[in-house]
Structure 1
């Protein structure tokens, strides 16, 4: 033992390197072991769904998976096969996996897709945007938009995963949670933005549109990979050398929020004959009454804007299941900002792209038209995908699609909404000082 200690002391550099290597290897092996335990527990939970008895005449549920193997730097295919595919197959669902080979293929495949019970998107923000665009461009989109959609986050940017699933430090845990959420069947309605140019077909988004200096600098962050944790600051700092201030000018016309109609309950069985007769009679009466009334002119608001960045975002980031109005958030950021503030705020926007900083003009609208000056160059960021900047009309489609979510996340949304109602009524939350009254 003394000889071993003497040798280690004499070769202390090699001993230190070996100890670090051994510690790193042990940590890596422990992480792999934890991931295997997570996979095993998820598969056992999925097996319970697969063991449930069904009628002999009841067909198996069909799920169509749109997988983008190129997501996450080409690792998405392996991540799906190891973490999500076993869960889906053990659940007893008839799974068909469609792998995309090039950008834009998912839009074309959706036009040819036959009937299915579930649509599952396995990829990142770009894959989500392609699938919902192809889905809503169909001639029969009214029927297909009612198909519930599952999202398995496999891409570099997965904005929706923060809304649908609980936060997790493990990627394996995050993917298995998403796959299990599809089996549990809880869904939430998400808004969609219809973005239409002058010539091309409309593009659909679930997060929003960005146009401005922060977006332009953000897409160049990967060029400074050699600077490590300073690459984000470097990209925004060097972008100030080309032009300053980076002002974007346009004209904006918009309509205010619309009142949310009551949501019709989902009915698994056919209603009674008299119920169907009453509904048909009521719809006929309402349609005749509406046709006799004059249509009120739309009250458009117009303004000229000069901003460092404009963003148009849905409410899907902070979902409120009980809100009474439907609108999208338009954020017009102030043009007067120092270079230091630009670099600091740019780092914040990499984490929350649609953050609306203090001092910005905030507008709630159900529809807007963005007019750009002739000769405007640059690009839009639509759900983190790049599109040529052009005059566009953006229309909100409230609660257009239903996405599967984790039941605990849905429960938190409902509890938060109930607490807000109590605060609005002046009662305050149960544990607040204002809620206790003296006896």
Structure 2
């Protein structure tokens, strides 16, 4: 009887093999989904208990609960950012006993404006993608009281966007699921683990605007060339599912990619410290301190009632972690500050900070120049290899402190001469079809002459990893 049923079932499956295969795939997918959700629930239970332990710890009678401000981009990740924040971050912050205020951005550039006036908070949570992070960092480092603001306002980078390379590079290795990445970034804030992080200052060298452009600041990388163009188009191949990135490289060879990055480049080699840069840094710190003290005096003078109140004695402002802490006045480096010039002709140009470069990378900005040409098969193979985490092959590498890049007129976008905003590197509302782009931490900016400078230990971030040994941002 049992054998008869088995035979009958086998015959039915053979005669309806398409339906059988489809049903098996659905059952397999449903089973994996259910197991994943069960494991996620167990993990969230454990991490919530850890957060609750921080919240149950008694505070000193004179201490106040920590107050954090969230800058949330509700449009990030196709509008899923707020829901993911409420699901994974909100419970941990509440259980940890933190006082949370949320500011939702409504337009591009608003996060910069918010950070330029941010105050009265113990930390800032950046809930969004790389674009939101870049805006927050730019607003923070543009402040007149930058040295003090960096110390007062450490940043918690939560990977909630489509591209969150800056935040992901700060996470422990092996965090592959969204729940683990988001909760680990949040718990670094709860545990109050703060570390310094390098940044880059990018200044456009020419602009047609009447008001000179202000610099923008980045945490991870600047990319230019065919590989950057492919990464910008991956989302268009969503219908390929898990193969979308691989297929993007396959179809990209037939598209109008930036196969030539030509121009003139000047750079200064990275200097760990010598008598020349030591004196320059000391002078810059003194000038910055004098400017900030003058600004504070002017602000007090603007209040009529302040003249009736005894003024406090001027004190030296707190120095940022990037301040000179070692005396290099006796170290001689004849190559410090010397500009080296060379032409550029490549299909792949990238510049990365230390934490975004390869494991074990030393201090400084890490410049990588790819080959001048590459066949279609080599391009696809190289792209797939980078997807697996391999380092780019056949490239030239330099460790620099400053870079001045002047693309040739043919490589610059046709909209360079168009009117620009006060952010001289920002993109126009309607760029021409032949516009070429840099990738600034995953965001697109017009190709034009730029000056890029390293800012060591420019910001403070919450992370469990050593920021001098963090994971590289994907190419």
Task: Say yes or no: TM over 0.5.
Answer: yes
Say whether the 8 Å CA contact 2:221–2:353 is kept in structure 1.
yes
Deviation per residue, 1:77-128 (Å, 9 max, x gap): 1111011111011111111111222322211221232232111112222221
Say whether the 8 Å CA contact 1:233–1:344 is kept in structure 2.
no
> Which residue of the partner structure matches residue 150 of structure 2?
145
Superposition map of 1:9-408 within 5 A: 9=10, 11-12=12-13, 13=16, 18=23, 20-146=25-151, 147-160=153-166, 161-198=168-205, 199-228=212-241, 231-241=244-254, 246-259=259-272, 298-317=337-356, 326-349=363-386, 357-374=392-409, 376-377=412-413, 378-406=436-464
Say whether the 8 Å CA contact 2:224–2:349 is kept in structure 1.
yes
Say whether the 8 Å CA contact 1:331–1:356 is kept in structure 2.
no
Question: Where does structure 1 lack aligned partners over 5 or more consecutive residues?
Answer: 263-275, 280-285, 415-439
Deviation per residue, 1:32-89 (Å, 9 max, x gap): 2222221121111111111111123222211111122222222221111011111011
Mapped to 1, the partners of 2:400 and 2:104 lie a distance apart of: 37
Deviation per residue, 1:116-170 (Å, 9 max, x gap): 2111112222221111111111222211112221122112222232333332233
> Which residue of the partner structure matches residue 291 of structure 2?
none
Q: Does 202-211 or 115-124 show the bigger shift?
A: 115-124
Larger relative contact order (C-alpha < 8 A, sep ≥ 6)?
Answer: 2
Mapped to 1, the partners of 2:242 and 2:128 lie a distance apart of: 25
Say whether the 8 Å CA contact 1:329–1:364 is kept in structure 2.
yes
SS, match of residue 220 in structure 1: helix
Mapped to 1, the partners of 2:352 and 2:95 lie a distance apart of: 37
Q: Does 13-22 or 325-334 show the bigger shift?
A: 13-22
Cα RMSD for the two superposed structures = 3.4
Mapped to 1, the partners of 2:190 and 2:117 lie a distance apart of: 26
In the comparison of the two structures, how many residue pairs are matched? Answer: 382
Q: Does 367-376 or 312-321 show the bigger shift?
A: 312-321
Q: Does 390-399 or 162-171 show the bigger shift?
A: 162-171
Shift in alpha-carbon separation, 1:143–1:57, aligned structure 2, 3 A? same
TM-score (norm 2): 0.72
SS, match of residue 137 in structure 2: helix
Say whether the 8 Å CA contact 2:269–2:335 is kept in structure 1.
no
Shift in alpha-carbon separation, 1:16–1:6, aligned structure 2, 3 A? farther
Mapped to 2, the partners of 1:244 and 1:33 lie a distance apart of: 43
SS, match of residue 334 in structure 1: coil
Shift in alpha-carbon separation, 1:372–1:92, aligned structure 2, 3 A? same
Say whether the 8 Å CA contact 2:364–2:400 is kept in structure 1.
yes
Say whether the 8 Å CA contact 1:326–1:366 is kept in structure 2.
no
SS, match of residue 356 in structure 2: coil
Question: Where does structure 2 lack aligned partners over 5 or more consecutive residues?
Answer: 206-211, 279-314, 319-324, 414-435, 471-475
Mapped to 2, the partners of 1:224 and 1:17 lie a distance apart of: 24
* Alpha-carbon shift at residue 234 of structure 1 (Å): 4.3
Shift in alpha-carbon separation, 1:87–1:67, aligned structure 2, 3 A? same
Mapped to 1, the partners of 2:122 and 2:33 lie a distance apart of: 40
Say whether the 8 Å CA contact 2:219–2:353 is kept in structure 1.
yes
* Alpha-carbon shift at residue 246 of structure 1 (Å): 2.0
Shift in alpha-carbon separation, 1:217–1:342, aligned structure 2, 3 A? same
* Alpha-carbon shift at residue 374 of structure 1 (Å): 2.9
